[in-house]
Amino acid sequence: MEWYYMDNERKVGPVTEKDMEELAKQGKVTPESKVWNEVASRWMPYVEAKSGSIGNTSFIPETEDTVRDSVCIECGRTFSVDEMIEYGEFKVCASCKPAFFQKMKEGASTGVMEYAGFWIRFGAKLIDGIIMTLIMTLFMIGFYFAGGLTLSAIGAGQNVLTPAMYILIIFQYAFPLAYTTFFLGKFAATPGKMACGLKVLRADGESVSYWRAAGRHLAEFVSSLTLMIGYLMAAFDSEKRALHDRMCNTRVIKK
């Protein structure tokens, strides 16, 4: 089986499974390194891929080698499972056990992606809504004051107001699109999602492009038109996807 892995945001591969194990022993591939092969549906941390599961779904066929060996989540080296300690779905070698459990006591993350649920996404959306409402309100106030000065100066109210209203209507729809597209394309998160520690990624774990970010924003209209059921889907979907996430093949995860 051929593998690919990310090295400083550069895709490397293909390499054989034996080469991957050697790279892990050398520390060039760490437990958190994103990897992919033809069986996978997305890019994932090496430790998750090597453990042989995505949630409850089988990822790597169980063979004599995969049963016998596993990767330590701490040092990234391969050991016999008989020599390792299991912690949930993770395995730790004997030498890394003290450091691993010390990190767990301190609340350190294990590096596995966690999908964001409905309520934290609702909170992020609320924060973004407040930010955009404040900016649009300030713009409209400033625009009306500017329009009033123009009217008093040239005394042509009817001719000036009509184009002004068109500008305000266009701004009302264009600004949220520009806001969402810029922040998701640049940072993979809007300010609201940043405040809640969330990111929007593609299904393979890669960042979304500006085009996909724009498409995702427009797809939210579909989620709204379904009496908000499109948003509520995130509360019941196994990967916490809303309707617009399904349409654009995106996932909202906790950083």
| Same domain as 149, residue 46 | no
Same domain for 152 and 231, yes or no, is yes
Domain boundary among 42, 72, 107: 107
Burial, 171: exposed, middle or buried (Cβ in 10 Å; 0-12, 13-18, 19+)?
A: middle
In the sheet with 114-115, reading across from the earlier edge strand, the strands are 114-115, 250-254, 198-202
Of 80, 107, 134, the position where a domain reaches its end is: 107
Domain boundary at 107, 137, 160, which? 107
What confidence tens digit (pLDDT) does each residue in 183-210 have? 999 999 999 999 999 999 987 778 899 9
When divided into structural domains, the chain yields a total of 2
Q: What is this structure's pTM?
A: 0.55
Question: 135 and 82 in one domain?
Answer: no
Q: What is the pLDDT of residues 164-178, one digit of tens each?
A: 677 888 889 999 999
For residues 237 and 186, state if they share a domain: yes
Beta-carbon contacts of 190 under 8 Å, excluding residues fewer than 6 positions away, are 124, 128, 179, 180, 183, 184
Domain residues for the domain of 125 are 115-254
> Is 55 in the same domain as 132?
no
